[in-house]
Amino acid sequence: MIQHRTCFAKGVTSFAAAIAALGSLSVATGAHAQDPVQGTVGLDAQVAQVCVLGTPNPGTLALGQISEASGARVGRLTTIASQSIQLPGTFCNYAGAALAISASPLAVTATTQTGFVGSVDYTCTISAWGATAATVRTSAGSSSGTGSSATNPAPQETDLTLVVSDFAVSSDDLLQPGAYLALVTITLGPDAGLAASGS
pLDDT of residue 3: 41
- Positions in the chain short of pLDDT 70: 1-31, 141-146, 192-199
CATH label of the domain that carries residue 91: 2.60.120
140-151 confidence digits (pLDDT tens): 766 566 678 899
3-state secondary structure of 16: helix
Q: Which domain holds residue 18?
A: 1-30
**pLDDT value, residue 147:** 72
Residues 11, 64, single domain; the answer is: no
Structural domain contains residue 120: yes
The C-alpha angle with vertex 178 and arms to 174 and 180, in degrees rounded to 5, equals 95
* pLDDT value, residue 148: 82
With respect to residue 156, please indicate whether it lies within any of the assigned structural domains: yes
pLDDT of residue 80: 97
Measured distance CA(127)–CA(79) in Å, rounded: 24
Residue 191 confidence (pLDDT): 75
Q: Given this model, what pLDDT does residue 18 score? A: 53
| pLDDT score of 176 | 96
Q: What pLDDT sits at residue 139? A: 86
Same domain, 58 and 21: no
Clarify whether residues 143 and 88 are in a common domain.
yes
Structural domains in the chain (count): 2
pLDDT in tens, 66-103: 999 999 999 999 999 999 999 999 999 999 999 999 99
Q: Cis peptide leading into 58, omega within 30 of 0?
A: yes
Residue 132 lies in a domain: yes
**120, 168 Cβ separation under 8 angstroms:** yes
